Amino acid sequence: MRAAKKAIRAEVAAALQLMSQDARARATGRAFAQLDQTDAWRGAKRVMLYAPMPIEPVLDCLWAQRANREFCYPRIVGRELEARMVTAVTQLRPAAFGLREPDLEQTTVVDPATLDLVVVPGLAFTRDGGRLGRGRGYYDRFLAALPAEVSTVALAFACQMRDTLPMEPHDYRVQMVFTG
């Protein structure tokens, strides 16, 4: 199972490296247009995004769709994620693994149970919500602890989609995957 996951991660990462920034932005826009039509997005008042790596969907564009929403971002604390309220993208700072995380001085912790929607990163997905992350389990642990009424979604590129993925009992599925 570990070898299969590693092979898929390498294959998808290579495909993602080949995408131009413009192609990523256009595909993110198409995926978001699908999400924008859902009750999950339309009814969400508190949304947890993530600060994408250069090869991931361009989520900073969602700030233009912020109307009447609060945005939170994850911060790694030990082996767990905490959600922190962010009022501007400028409150994100460089952190571990080449990510950007909320600045401790400018942001506050949010109870994950108060989230309405979580946009989840991943390297590969299936149409039915199967998800292959980067292998450290941060999101699997975080999402497994959320109340059932919190919606979980992913925005993905076509090269990230698979018919099946090797899934273990601890691997968390998202409720909806939107591709651009």
Per-residue pLDDT of the chain (180 residues; tens, 9 = 90+): 889 999 999 999 999 999 999 999 999 999 999 999 999 999 999 999 999 999 999 898 888 888 889 999 999 999 999 999 999 999 999 988 778 999 999 999 999 999 999 999 999 999 999 999 988 899 999 999 999 999 999 999 999 999 999 999 989 999 999 998
How many domains does the structure of the chain reveal?
Answer: 1
Angstrom distance (rounded) from CA 111 to CA 146: 10
In this predicted model, what pLDDT tens digit does every residue of 113-150 receive, in sequence order? 999 999 999 999 999 999 999 888 999 999 999 999 99
Angstrom distance (rounded) from CA 116 to CA 41: 9
Domain hosting residue 123, numbered range: 2-179
Q: Which of the 8 DSSP states describes residue 72? A: E
* CATH code, domain carrying 174: 3.40.50.10420
DSSP string, 3-39: HHHHHHHHHHHHHHHHS-HHHHHHHHHHHHHHHTTSH
